[in-house]
Amino acid sequence: MKEIKLDSPEICSKIKLLAGGALGITMMLLLRRYPGIFHDSILYMGQGLMQRWPQIYGQDLFFAHGSQASYTIMPWILGKAFSFASPPLVMLMGAFISMLLFAASAWFALKALLPTQQRYWAWLGALCLPSIYGVVHIFSYNEPFLTSRPLAESFCLLGIGWLIREKWLLAAASLLLAGLFHPLQAIAGAAIIWVWAVGQDRRWLHALWLIFPVSALAYIGITPFNGLLQRADAGWFKELTYSRQVFVTLWSVNDFKNLGFDVVVLLSAWHWLRGRFGGWCLASLIGCTIGILASLLLVDHLHLVLPIGLQLWRVHWLAHFFSLAAIGALLLFHLRAKDSVSALLLTLTALLAWGETDWGWLLLAAMYVGWQFAPHDSRQRLGRLLCWIFGMSTVLLFYNHASNEYHWFKEAHFRIDLYPFDRRLLVFPALSFGLPLFGLLLWERCGSIGKKLLLAGFLVPAVAATLYLWDARDSTQHIMEDAAFQPDIFGTSIPEHAQIYWEPESLVGVWLVLHRASYFSPGQLAGQMFSRDTAEDGLQRENRMMPLMRESLGCQDEKLNVTERVRCHISDRSMKQACSLNGGKRPDYMVLSYPQPQPYVGQWAIPDPVSKTPAITFRLYRCDDILNFRGGSSSPPVRR
């Protein structure tokens, strides 16, 4: 049998590509571990459940007045998938597949834009650097949980890859698929693609003539175009402001800091890298500017219904993708030019822009841009000194980051299941980006034997360990998801038509575990920007539950001592208001985590994996029993 020589050009090239891909995806999965059915994936799971069991979930607040589910094929796909596998398994596997698809699509697009080594650095930047955009504590591209957003993003990137290769039909099909999965992400991507197309051929400006037929449809009153001339009334608009991501004027300093840094990077990439990639960076910057300014005018100022739903600020996702890719490409560009100062300045600027400072990064950004225009003699004299200063600054920033993370790890009693200390260290951008590059450097320095040792001794074990660690659901989340479709988990039968309120908020508990409709949860109001009826109904239900919710927050106050926390419960008046027969529909049951004096009909205790004692105990209360309560308590034994 002929021996495979890893140092032969053909084999080495293929293995290097596979090893580099595995290294990048491994770091991506380590950084973006699966949190379970979380964030918006809860809503998508609910949409799939609605498709599968409309008789149960049709009366749920999230679906009762229509929802954004009608604009995406994702609920239909999930509904079919739930016929063959449990929702937790579908959501886990779907998240894993969507992340791999995004990594492949990003490579497909960047491969056509950049030279060989530069495209790999750009790909690592897009996968391993912070992907937060818009309101940064809410949104990120390539989310580690299952929604239709990363799927639409992947198809947008595929479309870009096909456009660059001049495969027009495949590009159109990819963008159509993106729109079928998530029209808002697809429209945002298409806006930047259109700006790029105009740069290639000015005849694409004729697309602006579409303004006239769309305006005519709006004037006639054809849905949804009529929303282009319809303003949200004061009451609805007030409720919408709770979704602050929709209104650019409500963004925080961190949000604008992230956006401002992207502007600096995209301009730098356009100036220094030029070529196809530079053109896309410029198109991203222009498209992002147009989208956010349009959102400011049409949403924040004019309060128009259709633009509120379109959320044109989402153009930032693709601009941010190209910004992170540009960071990788710029770093290699500077290092090849033997300009270590610029590379370190860009690194420090990024660390401060993504860190806890407000606008201190602007000084470093100015130094980064200005250094390129400094006299050659000055750059030679100061270069070595500045490299030491900036290098040590990066080390000190990492030390500060590690110290902060260690403090919180210590507060969690060194339990990695409560605080993922290893992942929190890895999210330091210089580390998350630098580690795979270090692996690439080792590979290039090793001979045939060294490459075999790296594959067998490092890469294969790293991939295996990553696959094991990727499912990072905590013990409570695991138990909740493992208890799917057990409406008798509290030891009593709950009617199929019942509406249930769960406090603290848990749509997973109501929708997945109890397999029932939820009476009210703040998460259900995500659809209120698409339906005024949802906003009105949600406000009525929120007002009914507000006293209970406020008292619940008081019981969760960390300032309470142990004794007060154990004794804390919801007042009888708030319980009775929640269950009152007056003022519209009420919940039939309530699930609370407090030992109430009112009689409960069942208990479910979730144990701590270490101490084996109950970490949290949920109790099921029937509203009829609460209204009839006059004192005393009779409760069945705990069910575990």
The verdict on residue 414 lying in a domain is no
Angle between helices 376-411 and 340-353 (to 10 degrees): 40
> Is pLDDT above 50 for 362?
yes
The verdict on residue 616 lying in a domain is yes
629/284: higher pLDDT: 284
Residue 567's pLDDT band (boundaries 50, 70, 90)?
A: confident
pLDDT score for 1: 41
User: How confident is the model over 393-435, as pLDDT tens digits?
Assistant: 899 999 999 999 999 999 888 888 788 899 999 999 999 999 9
Q: State how far the Cα of 622 lies from the Cα of 604, in Å rounded to an integer.
A: 15
Residue 180's pLDDT band (boundaries 50, 70, 90)?
A: very high
CB 284 within 8 A of CB 192: yes
**Average pLDDT in the 239-263 region?**
90
Instruction: Give the pairing type, strands 499-503 and 517-518.
Output: parallel
Angle between helices 460-470 and 9-31 (to 10 degrees): 30
Residue owning tokens 């009366």: 59
The verdict on residue 526 lying in a domain is yes
The per-residue pLDDT of the chain, averaged, comes to 89
Q: Residues 6 or more apart from 150 whose CB is under 8 A from it? A: 98, 99, 101, 102, 141, 142, 143
pLDDT score for 638: 42
> Is pLDDT above 90 for 581?
no
> Is pLDDT above 80 for 561?
no
Q: Residues 6 or more apart from 224 whose CB is under 8 A from it? A: 306, 309
Radius of gyration of the chain (CA): 27
pLDDT score for 42: 94
237/170: higher pLDDT: 170
**Average pLDDT in the 472-478 region?**
90
Residue 636's pLDDT band (boundaries 50, 70, 90)?
A: very low
pLDDT score for 453: 86
Task: Show the tokens assigned to 202.
Answer: 């000015």
The verdict on residue 499 lying in a domain is yes
The verdict on residue 566 lying in a domain is yes
pLDDT score for 633: 43
What distance lies between CA 62 and its chain's CA centroid?
20
- Alpha helices by DSSP H, listed for 182-274, are 183-200, 211-220, 234-240, 253-272
Torsion of CA 301, 306, 312, 313, to 10 degrees: 50
The verdict on residue 501 lying in a domain is yes
Domain count, the chain: 1
- Residue percentage of the chain with pLDDT more than 90: 62
Of 12-21, 154-163, 537-546, give the lowest mean pLDDT range.
12-21
Residue 3's pLDDT band (boundaries 50, 70, 90)?
A: low
> Is pLDDT above 50 for 640?
no
Ramachandran class of 311: left when φ > 0, alpha when ψ lies in -120 to 50, beta otherwise: left
Q: Which of 347, 325, 343 shows the shortest CA–CA distance to 334?
A: 343
pLDDT score for 155: 98
What distance lies between CA 194 and its chain's CA centroid?
25
The verdict on residue 444 lying in a domain is no
pLDDT score for 556: 82
> Is pLDDT above 80 for 379?
no
- Residue range(s) defining the domain that contains residue 575: 478-628
SS3 308: helix
582/586: higher pLDDT: 586
pLDDT score for 634: 44
User: How confident is the model over 281-304, as pLDDT tens digits?
Assistant: 999 999 999 999 999 999 999 999
Q: Residues 6 or more apart from 281 whose CB is under 8 A from it? A: 266, 267, 269, 270, 273, 322, 323, 326
pLDDT score for 82: 96
Of 199-208, 468-477, 605-614, give the lowest mean pLDDT range.
605-614
Is residue 504 reached through a cis peptide bond, with omega within 30 degrees of 0 on the bond before it?
Answer: yes
> Is pLDDT above 70 for 565?
yes
**Average pLDDT in the 238-250 region?**
86
The dihedral sign for the CA sequence 125, 130, 135, 138: positive
pLDDT score for 22: 92
Residue 631's pLDDT band (boundaries 50, 70, 90)?
A: low
Residue owning tokens 């101490």: 611
> Is pLDDT above 80 for 5?
no
The verdict on residue 482 lying in a domain is yes
**Average pLDDT in the 562-566 region?**
75
Residue owning tokens 């990695």: 416
